[in-house]
Chains A and B, each alone.
Chain A
Amino acid sequence: MSRAAPMGGRIFTPRFNVLLALGALSCAILLWRFIVGLGPTTGMNDGYPWGIWIAFDVVTGTGIACGGYAMALMVYVFNRGQYHPLVRPALLTTALGYTVAGASVFVDIGRWWNAWKVPSFFWTWNFNSALLEVALCIMSYIMVAWIELSPSFLPKRFVRYLEKALPFLIALGILLPTMHQSSLGSLMMISTKVHPLWHTQLLPLLFLISVIGMGYAGAVLEATVSGRAFRLDPEWHLLAKIGKAVSFCFIAFLGIRIAGLLLNGFPGFGANGMTLLFVAEMALFAVPAWLLLDERRVRDPGQLFVASMLAVLAGAVYRFDVYLVAFDPGSTWHYFPSIPEMLVTIGFVALEIAAYTFIVKVFPILPRPARSNP
């Protein structure tokens, strides 16, 4: 049996300081962005109004960070209590990933001083807008995730009050990602500029299934990396079993996607670059699905790491493609992120990693095996 415990150790390691410096650099660039506008600082333009701050930080980033959601589904809905020690660390990744996504949206929107009106001007809400649903859900979920985590930060006497409300929060913490992760798919359905191999009414379902698989892979990855970093010796057989859930999700994803395309006669399929990308993307899903299907193939932590890395990459590439690569506003438009734009994303990810290491060192998040407990 293992218990969550603070990992301890020095906070300001050289690596931590580098992460902080990258974060500080992104803040300096953002100051510039708020003075001169988005044009001079980013590669975005009227043809590609959404760049990596949305396609990577928000759409892909929250996908990678969906471990908290995927693990909660496993433990609380499918009643696999043995995975409980993995919920809290996964939830921390989720809370941090979503917080970064929220910050990215804030710096990406042009009229940020009006942002407060989105949650408060309820009489103007347009329920036809998938983005409104995503925005409200993500805002709520950031709060829910941090409250769910708060027993790790708060003194015991506060936790007693929270304990009663916790099941309802956990349920909300499963419902909200189900809604907004599928809506991230619905979001691009309205655009006729998405390539037909990606543009389908199945987008909400495909986004939801792939994100659950990706979330499990992310949780395994995170447990593997933190296990190595803090010499925790995680229970590898349990992690390998989670891998199987990734396989099931990805096989369902591949089946539904191909079936949908067959029904529509594979629109846009032919001898072109986008078809090649489509095939490569499908292969990227198939390989980890095959690797993780049989635990014996990933008994070794290194193999498990590679397989779950591939799985996260598959989900990430799919989302990135729907939002950017398969998005074609016409031949006159081109997009490639500018260096400042990339540095902001890198800085945000750096701050996310720094915050993770700080929190697990100071607060009880990661499960410490009983035998190594002092």
Chain B
Amino acid sequence: MERRNLLKVLFAGGAAAALPAAARTKRTAAPDSVGMLFDATACIGCKTCVVACREAAGLPPQAKDGMHDVQTELDGQTKNVIKLWKDEKNPAAFTYVKQQCMHCIDPACVSVCMLGALKKTAGGPVTYDKDTCIGCRYCQVACPFNVPKFEWNSATPQIVKCDLCQARIARGATQPACTEVCPRKAIIYGKREELLREAHRRIDAHPRFYVDKVYGEDELGGTSVLYLASVPFTKLGFPDKGTRSSPSVTESLQHGLYQGMLTPAILYVGLAAAVIRNRKKDKEGDE
């Protein structure tokens, strides 16, 4: 093979990789898919939802003093938590925030999961299957909300996160445990489209109570769980990273580079040709 031809092949490989990547189309929420709406102005921090979540998920209470379950972070035993936000300058200003899986419309955890243990179901929830999970924890690295948790103190650990009470609903419940028990209806369950309409209706009705934003409507490609609050969301710990989902960026790039394995195939042919040609030239060295 002529050196020039060889170079051509190698360049073809490079050119294939540089072909315009067909940018992946934006994912939208499936019609009739479900979600939740949390209204921070209605939450009184009673944590009934935390207790109900533990019961529904079969997770033991975490009462470190033997009496009070004062969970402050999601962890391997906690899929739902109520956090208190206080204004450092004005102690009278505070609000509660519920945290659980956001059930993203285009979830990073699903995009990175090697064998598809995490799945985005058509109905809305992001579900987990322990049998195809190897515990690599890439989902934890990828999740912009730091939601998936790992059972660090177990010899047979699993990923722990909210799945919108899939098992409970399969048994005939009409809604997740947290929304069912909330005495203030601060967290409600329903079709995402309807929840979104309801959220905007509340902002329009009481513009003084809310910041003019439904968090999750567009953030990072949109989430199935939506939030209303009286305090800017960045202060409450919500990431402000634009409206494009991470997978839509990375998947476009990766598929662009590989072109359905065309790039590696061309490169391989070029490399094999180069190796055969150059090895012939200096045979003696390899004895």
Contacts and interface: CB of A to CB of B under 8 A. Distances in A.
A279 interface: no
- Scoring A108, A129, A179 by chain B CB atoms within 10 A of each residue's CB, the highest score goes to A129
B268 A114 contact: no
A130 B112 contact: yes
A126 B134 contact: no
Contact of B134 (A40, A44, A115, A168): A115
A204 B141 contact: no
Interface stretch (B87-95, B152-160, B163-171, B184-192): B152-160
B278 interface: yes
Given A37-B151, A124-B116, A171 B111 contact: no
B246 A191 contact: yes
Interface in B250-287: 250-251, 253-254, 257, 264, 267-268, 271-272, 274-276, 278-279, 281-282, 285-287
A124 B132 CA distance: 8
A157 to B, nearest CB: 15
Interface string A168-180: 1011101100110
B278 A111 contact: no
B108 to A, nearest CB: 5
B45 interface: no
Contacts of A124: 115-116, 132
A38 interface: yes
Chain A interface: which size bin?
35 or more
B251 A128 contact: yes
A330 B236 CA distance: 12
Given A128-B112, A189-B250, A109 B276 contact: no
Interface stretch (A45-53, A245-253, A282-290, A311-319): A45-53
Contact of A190 (B74, B157, B246): B246
A186 B253 contact: yes
B112 A76 contact: no
A168 B272 contact: yes
Nearest to B237: A330
Given A81-B282, A330-B237, A118 B111 contact: no
A172 B114 contact: no
Contacts of B136: 108-110, 131
A46 B279 contact: no
B61 interface: no
B10 to A, nearest CB: 8
A143 to B, nearest CB: 16
Contacts of B250: 128, 130, 186, 189-190
A186 B258 CA distance: 12
A253 to B, nearest CB: 17
Instruction: Give me the 8 closest cross-chain CB pairs, A-B, nearest first.
Output: A110-B135, A39-B152, A81-B282, A111-B135, A49-B137, A84-B285, A49-B140, A171-B272
Given A49-B150, A130-B254, A170-B279, 4 more contacts: A77-B275, A129-B138, A190-B141, A190-B142
